[in-house]
Amino acid sequence: MSEVAVVLSGAGFLDGAEIQESVITMLTLDKAGVKYQCMAPDVAQMHVVNHFTGEVSEGEERNVLVEAARIARTKIIDIAIANPNDYDAVIFPGGYGAAKNLSNFAVKGAASSVQQDVLQFARSFAATGKPMGFVCISPALIPHIYGADAKLTIGSDADTAAAITEMGGVHVNCPVQDFVVDEERKIVSTPAYMLDERIGDVATGIEKLVHKVIEMING
């Protein structure tokens, strides 16, 4: 049976992994009969956001791996000990945690970097030639992982797309219910909540991405 690594970045879209995107990803994999292993870096979050007010909770600290365990129902490992050879594909759900905890894209934009353990795992996995899926803002990681000229989407946000282009990515505008494929590199991306759409539309795009990734595993 195939197994997919799902890389989380906390819990809650303002400072961690987008919960709905993460659950839709895992549910779609499970319905397709594909095992998954959640993982996250064992590091402090950039900050903690009160999801009721949208304001930063000054003085509060949380751990990315511990928070991600809320979504994974504790079935999660530190990405630092994950072996890329154990998995047939990797999927990164979105949420600002991808741009705040897995990387510093939210602060640095085109001058950003990726957290060391995440980058090592992702680059090692990319070198195997197996497929990877990226949801919402997580495609901002792609130029760091694959280098220049990788094709991807974050939807249609001009500023974010411009930063990704400056990093060497090839951005393609895409509606929420669709996805973009870089066939050469086996990269699949979908906008999800980068576009302010209904959960049903977001789910359609993520489901298509997951099924495309599974097709690439089997094909």
Tens of pLDDT, residues 138-196: 999 999 999 999 999 999 999 999 999 999 999 999 999 999 999 999 999 999 999 98
Lookup: tokens for 97: 């945690």
> For 56-108, how does the pLDDT look when each residue is reduced to its tens digit (9 = 90+)?
999 999 999 999 999 999 899 999 999 999 999 999 999 999 999 999 999 99
Lookup: tokens for 45: 């979050």
CA pair distance 162, 156, nearest whole angstrom = 10
> How buried is residue 94: exposed, middle or buried, by Cβ count under 10 Å (0-12/13-18/19+)?
buried
Checking if the pLDDT of 49 tops 90, the result is: yes
Per the structure, how many domains does the chain have? 1
CA pair distance 151, 51, nearest whole angstrom = 32
State the pairing for strand pair 3-7/35-40: parallel
**What average pLDDT is seen over the chain?**
97
Checking if the pLDDT of 2 tops 90, the result is: no
The single residue of 4, 19, 136, 210 carrying the catalytic annotation is 136
Across the range 125-143, mean pLDDT stands at: 98
> What CATH number does residue 162 fall under?
3.40.50.880
As a residue count, the chain comes to 219
Per-residue pLDDT, 197: 86
Examine the residue annotation and report whether 136 is marked as an active-site residue of this protein. Answer: yes
Rg (CA), the chain: 15
Give the confidence band of 219 by pLDDT, cuts at 50, 70, 90.
Answer: confident
> What is the extent of the structural domain holding 72?
3-218
Share of residues in the chain with pLDDT > 90 (%) = 97
> For 96-112, how does the pLDDT look when each residue is reduced to its tens digit (9 = 90+)?
999 999 999 999 999 99
- Sign, CA dihedral 85-203-48-133, equals positive
